[in-house]
Amino acid sequence: MTELPFRRLLLVHAHPDDESINNGATMARYAAEGVHVTLVTCTLGERGEVIPPELAHLTGAALGEHRLRELTAAMGELGVTDFRLLGGAGRYGDSGMMGLADNDDPGCFWQADVDEAAARLVEVIREVRPQVLVTYDPDGGYGHPDHIQTHRVATRAAELAAAEGRPIAKVYWNRVPRATAEKAFAGLREDLPRTPFDRAAGLDDVPGVVDDERVTTEIDGTAYAAAKAAAMRAHATQITVAEPYFALSNGLAQPVLTTEHYELVDGGSGRVRETDLFDGMEEGS
């Protein structure tokens, strides 16, 4: 087996596009620095709403196949070569939004056995031996069932890996500091008439917004702003990009955040406002 770099980062996301929106600049920066970046996506997003009219015919499995191609293109923009679907493509279906009948589909990720799904993720952990894991908070950032389940599966996988002697040194949740979001949205409101978007989103539309004191880690990805925007643009069924803003299927404009923030929830020294997910680690760890 090829020897891996000494810094290894694992990100676990629910659907194609989540990674580029939440962590695109982080992934691009670390990939450029020679870190082994692994992305595990838990579903193909077969129930996502399609934005472009010319692609509106895509539904179900056909949409999932298309979104996998979008994910492949996005990873090319970020320089990430190790990306996988949990259990293989199509193993877990998109669960739809919370409260819909889709949640009851026995093949959807929401209905998956957490230990079984986590065991599949442990297989990846055994292979790449990440020191850092990034995923969602217990609410999945905004309450989507697949995001909540992703948190549960990633957390359980970290526990199982530790139990067999493969602990992950640091675990982070995706975050956006409230002050950062407020400043970015103030700029958006001023710029809105000069964008292709009619309306702006609000802070409640942004997953993971928390009070600033909860944020422990700030990753400056401004040098990779173009890569992040290109990766987001690759997810054309889900995202409309007009830099430095974007909109999802609701058409509400949001800022493209290129400094990305995290909350350290396990491991580390407790240092506040790290500027590196690998802070405190030495080669060989």
Most distant CA atoms of the chain, gap in Å: 56
Residue 15 counted as an annotated binding residue:
yes
Cis peptide, bond prior to residue 244, ω within 30 of zero: yes
CA angle 43, 44, 50 (to 5 degrees): 130
Report d(CA 77, CA 276) in Å as an integer.
22
- 145-181 as b/e: b if 16+ CB within 10 A: bbbbbbbbbbbbbbebbeeeeeebebbbbbbbbbebb
Residue 261 counted as an annotated binding residue:
no
Residue 147 counted as an annotated binding residue:
yes
* DSSP code at position 167: -
Report d(CA 64, CA 57) in Å as an integer.
12
Report d(CA 266, CA 135) in Å as an integer.
12
Cβ atoms 129, 8 nearer than 8 A: yes
Q: What is the 3-state secondary structure (H, E, C) of 41-54?
A: ECCCCCCCCCCCHH
- Residues annotated within the binding site are 15, 18, 147
- Residues annotated within the binding site for Zn(2+) are 15, 18, 147
